[in-house]
Structure 1
Amino acid sequence: MEYESFSSNFQGLFSEINLDSEKLGKTYKERNSRLCTIIQKIAEGLGEFPSGNDLLGDAYEYLIGQFAAGSGKKAGEFYTPQQISTILSGIVSLDSQDPTTGKRTKLRQVLDFACGSGSLLLNVRRQMGKNGVGKIYGQEKNITTYNLARMNMLLHGMKDTEFEIFHGDSLRNDWDILSEENPAKKIEFDVVVANPPFSYRWEPNERLAEDFRFKGYGLAPKSAADFAFLLHGFHFLHREGTMAIILPHGVLFRGGKEAKIRKKLLREGNIDTVIGLPPKLFYSTGIPVCILVLKKCKKDDDILFINACEHFEKSKRQNILLSEHIEKIIETYRFRKEEERYSRRVSLKEIEENDFNLNISRYVSTAEPEEQVDLEAVHQKLSSLEEQIYKAKEEHNQYLKELGLDLLA
């Protein structure tokens, strides 16, 4: 049994490693010697490393983050910065129907259908505590990143009964546990989180138009699969669950097919909160992004808008969200606070009047209010200045007259 568990966990984990790479040496003997040295040094280091699984896992995750920071745009494929993961996990861990009551005691199942290295899933687990999540599920299309995620789970001390990571394409829905069309047998998740590829080009077709995930909403355009990813995750959300997804701002206002999907989600009361984040938080892009919080059965009739685009600390390469910025977003969501130039609760009626456009600045402007001008006071001041000028001119002309010089007109 122990061997079977080990085999299940580690099967194909290092399948992407090229042991014949000339970077290890030009000859077989050189490569073999260098590999032996590397393994020996790792073993020596692990021998001195504290035995706590989380510490080892956190060290691994730190290295992933450092690699992401150094690899720029390529990092967008597999890594969600911890500061943003913390916002998502902080939101979804709160009670879905009444966030003011605080965290839920237990999440049975959590899904990230574009899980990358798994950092977002682990952040939810960390937020809930080691025994606060029953099982986490992740799906990843890239084989190398899929192996990164599995290694991340294992190094955080997770048993194979506590997680399941699948290598496959979420848009094609090729994971058998998610392909059940019978609603009575459908798997559902208390929490769905995701940071899918932004404006990903995909191939919608007639078969997908009838797919149970998209039917009734329509298909996202070929040029941007953002809403396809959203609808995929939303379909598997439990009626009392919470979904938080990171998307480009375009989903808030683009027209055509996306406007139709957005309108249906709004009319059915599924969009709970729209959060605008500052620019340059991601390694893969400098554009500002948003977080959409969705629920199938939400308590409040309005939509909460949080415009946090100016709440950050500047850094050389990336902007940084400090703990106070993160806590402010989560607390504003939790208590549905309204604050001038930061957050506002907006009725569906007002959104309808704006043609279902969710552009954040339309509802929460960060512009400084213009100073009110007191015209009467300004007029009095000008009159006083004119009188002073007249008196000064008269006095000056008196001196000129005494000197026999031409007077000022």
Structure 2
Amino acid sequence: MALSREQQTKMWAMLNQTRGQIGLTAYKDYIFGILFYKYLSEKATRWLEGVLRGEEWEIIYSQDPAKALERMKKNLGYAIQPNDFFADWKKAIDADRFSIGMMTDTFGHFNQQIAFEAKNDFEGIFDGMRFDSADLGANAQARAGVMISMIELLSAPEFDLSGSDDTVSDIYEYLVAQFATVLASDMGQYYTPKEISNVMARILTYGREDRENFSIYDPTVGSGALLLTTASYMKNSNKRGMIKYFGQEKDATPYRLSRMNLMMHGVEYNDININHADTLASDWPDGVVDGKDTPRMFDAVMANPPYSAHWNNKDREDDPRWREYGVSPKTKADYAFLLHCLYHLEDSGRMAIILPHGVLFRGAAEGRIRKSLVDKHQIEAIIGFPEKLFLNASIPVCVVILRKNRIESDILFVDASRDFEKLKKQNQLRQEDVEKIVDTVINRKEIEKYSHIATLNEIKENDYNLNIPRYVDTFEEEETIDLVGLSREMVALNSDIEKTESDFLSLLDELAVTPDTKDIIEATKAVFR
């Protein structure tokens, strides 16, 4: 069950009460890190309860530490030794023996007890927390005080993780969204509105919901929301090994958040493969091996890359990702991201990418790339969204849907820019708006002033310009004014006004005039004469 508005409000209020003077940018790294460690601790505790059958973990560990830890690592991908659990921190606080060194030791031990096959999933995941940082306080005592407040906060019933995986993921998603809202310039770029995520996910998975061994890839993975939303529409998403999650992220904070997010949504570590790398500078690791192009292909690819980003496009002509299409300008990497996604798409797959509208009509190198995509029949649909949907960008965006081996040459254009709910500072798609977009794209519907299927010849006539208004006419003619009728109404209205004034003056003449009212009555009559 989703968190109620009351729960959300209380959680955020509690967070703000405990952070003291710490800036939210620094605070988020600690709160997410500790919350995630609490999740791992409780997951390990549940596993131990199932396998120890009443025996004490401390006793089993003391008999053969290496064997005990190895068994846990084999099952969970990590191991937590006795006295290093989240609950142990809380016990130490209650007994007035907590120190900042306890947390330093705990994470040191944890980093040493990561299974080899889980290195990429857990290694460095807690690096955002620096327990000697001045952000926490001027001395060890002050820093310990801040940690105590966070641990006690996350021990409150509002942050109870003992329920279903849905409760855990709801808490995490709420916090990611809330921090992204407050820190739009810092985290907004990593957060895709859930309504757009749902549109993309439903289109990407349509007709393939029953697939097994389905792979999904986001080359600018951010918080991992697009991967999770896409997987949520697959019937086998809750079965281990059925869905494989791939992603890349060059920034350290979202790289950590994405892995936490996936695992707190119940995704097993061996189904996750997230790399810390610059997607454009470093192709997926197994793309070119020993000089031979052997790219990893994915069933669905989705992305919300930084808009019109600068990148190093020098000497990129021979890169297999762009060789057939051309290289994007150094000041606009939009098509570089698009072509990277397309390159890694299975022949039977589908991809969706969020981009600024400029990619639809800008010329030069981008125009040549666009022409090549159209001529290869690889653009399936283009959806235009309202402005102000994103936290860090007020401009409207579009979603481009592509497939590699389409036979059809037409393109569906959807102008969904006028359907939304206006909030205080932002706009938001309503459920009916999402349904209309998805239904229109899936069933390739033509709706007057909303969508149009353009033929290849029509696109060629527009010189390969894909700007949506060229294909979807949303112009509303103003109602014709009946000048004769309007003139008659004005004459009748003037006549009514004259009669009303005459009746009013007659009433004034009937009033008894006194020295006190004489001047007032005369002045009033003068106004209407």
- Taking the aligned partners of 2:246 and 2:417, their CA distance within structure 1 comes to 31
Please point out which of 232, 236, 245 is paired with 2:353.
245
- Per-residue CA deviation, residues 115-140 of structure 1 (Å, 9 max, x unaligned), is 10001100011121424752010110
Pair 1:162 & 2:279 matched: no
Shift of residue 45, structure 1, vs aligned partner: 4.2
Alignment partner, residue 194 of structure 1: 303
Do the aligned partners of residues 141 and 26 (structure 1) sit closer, same or farther apart at CA in structure 2, a change above 3 Å counting? same
- Taking the aligned partners of 1:106 and 1:344, their CA distance within structure 2 comes to 34
Report the secondary structure of 2:399's partner residue. strand
Please point out which of 23, 31, 39 is paired with 2:151.
39
Alignment partner, residue 336 of structure 2: 228
- Taking the aligned partners of 1:254 and 1:160, their CA distance within structure 2 comes to 42
Pair 1:111 & 2:217 matched: yes
Pair 1:345 & 2:453 matched: yes
Contact 2:354 2:398 in 1 (8 A): yes
Aligned ranges 1:372-391 → 2 under 5 Å = none
Alignment partner, residue 73 of structure 2: 3
Contact 2:377 2:407 in 1 (8 A): no
- Taking the aligned partners of 1:69 and 1:245, their CA distance within structure 2 comes to 22
Structure 2 unmatched ranges of 5 or more: 1-69, 79-113, 492-529
- Taking the aligned partners of 1:305 and 1:257, their CA distance within structure 2 comes to 23
- Taking the aligned partners of 1:34 and 1:76, their CA distance within structure 2 comes to 26
Aligned ranges 1:1-400 → 2 under 5 Å = 1=70, 2-3=72-73, 5-6=77-78, 7=114, 8=118, 9-45=121-157, 48-95=160-207, 103-106=209-212, 108-129=214-235, 130-131=237-238, 133-180=242-289, 182=292, 185-206=294-315, 208-371=316-479
Q: Whose helix proportion is higher, 1 or 2?
A: 2
Which stretches of structure 1, 4 residues or more, deviate above 3 A after TM superposition?
Answer: 43-50, 102-107, 178-183, 369-373
Contact 2:325 2:368 in 1 (8 A): yes
Shift of residue 182, structure 1, vs aligned partner: 4.1
Contact 1:107 1:190 in 2 (8 A): no
- Per-residue CA deviation, residues 281-325 of structure 1 (Å, 9 max, x unaligned), is 001110000000000122533100000000111111110101000
- Taking the aligned partners of 1:125 and 1:349, their CA distance within structure 2 comes to 37
Shift of residue 355, structure 1, vs aligned partner: 0.5
Contact 2:381 2:402 in 1 (8 A): yes
Shift of residue 174, structure 1, vs aligned partner: 4.6
Shift of residue 332, structure 1, vs aligned partner: 0.2
Q: Which moved more, 1:341-350 or 1:185-194?
A: 185-194
Do the aligned partners of residues 274 and 104 (structure 1) sit closer, same or farther apart at CA in structure 2, a change above 3 Å counting? farther
Q: When the two structures are superposed, what TM-score results if normalisation uses the length of structure 2?
A: 0.67
Report the secondary structure of 1:278's partner residue. coil
Do the aligned partners of residues 46 and 162 (structure 1) sit closer, same or farther apart at CA in structure 2, a change above 3 Å counting? farther
Report the secondary structure of 2:136's partner residue. coil
- Taking the aligned partners of 1:274 and 1:304, their CA distance within structure 2 comes to 6
Do the aligned partners of residues 306 and 68 (structure 1) sit closer, same or farther apart at CA in structure 2, a change above 3 Å counting? same
Contact 1:173 1:179 in 2 (8 A): no
Contact 1:91 1:334 in 2 (8 A): yes
- Per-residue CA deviation, residues 108-165 of structure 1 (Å, 9 max, x unaligned), is 1100000100011000111214247520101101011100001101111111121111
- Taking the aligned partners of 2:292 and 2:479, their CA distance within structure 1 comes to 61
Shift of residue 33, structure 1, vs aligned partner: 3.4
Contact 2:231 2:243 in 1 (8 A): no
Report the secondary structure of 1:64's partner residue. helix
Contact 2:181 2:188 in 1 (8 A): no
- Taking the aligned partners of 2:427 and 2:204, their CA distance within structure 1 comes to 24
**How many residue pairs get matched?**
374
- Taking the aligned partners of 1:74 and 1:357, their CA distance within structure 2 comes to 34
Amino acid at match of 1:168: A
Amino acid at match of 2:234: M
- Per-residue CA deviation, residues 235-257 of structure 1 (Å, 9 max, x unaligned), is 01011100000000000000000
Report the secondary structure of 1:177's partner residue. coil
- Per-residue CA deviation, residues 78-137 of structure 1 (Å, 9 max, x unaligned), is 111111111110110113xxxxxx745346110000010001100011121424752010
Amino acid at match of 1:54: D
- Taking the aligned partners of 2:146 and 2:186, their CA distance within structure 1 comes to 28
RMSD of Structure 2 on Structure 1 (CA): 2.5
- Taking the aligned partners of 1:116 and 1:137, their CA distance within structure 2 comes to 12
Report the secondary structure of 2:427's partner residue. coil
- Taking the aligned partners of 2:213 and 2:198, their CA distance within structure 1 comes to 17
Shift of residue 46, structure 1, vs aligned partner: 7.9
- Taking the aligned partners of 2:157 and 2:456, their CA distance within structure 1 comes to 58
Contact 2:374 2:409 in 1 (8 A): no
Greater radius of gyration (CA): 2
Do the aligned partners of residues 174 and 32 (structure 1) sit closer, same or farther apart at CA in structure 2, a change above 3 Å counting? farther
Do the aligned partners of residues 104 and 364 (structure 1) sit closer, same or farther apart at CA in structure 2, a change above 3 Å counting? farther
- Taking the aligned partners of 1:12 and 1:362, their CA distance within structure 2 comes to 49
- Taking the aligned partners of 1:277 and 1:21, their CA distance within structure 2 comes to 43
Contact 1:143 1:167 in 2 (8 A): yes
Shift of residue 23, structure 1, vs aligned partner: 3.5
Shift of residue 41, structure 1, vs aligned partner: 3.7
Contact 1:73 1:285 in 2 (8 A): no
Q: Of the two structures, which has the highest relative contact order with CA contacts closer than 8 Å and spacing of 6 or more? A: 1
- Per-residue CA deviation, residues 9-31 of structure 1 (Å, 9 max, x unaligned), is 43211112222233422211221
- Taking the aligned partners of 1:68 and 1:212, their CA distance within structure 2 comes to 35
- Per-residue CA deviation, residues 330-352 of structure 1 (Å, 9 max, x unaligned), is 00001101000000100010100
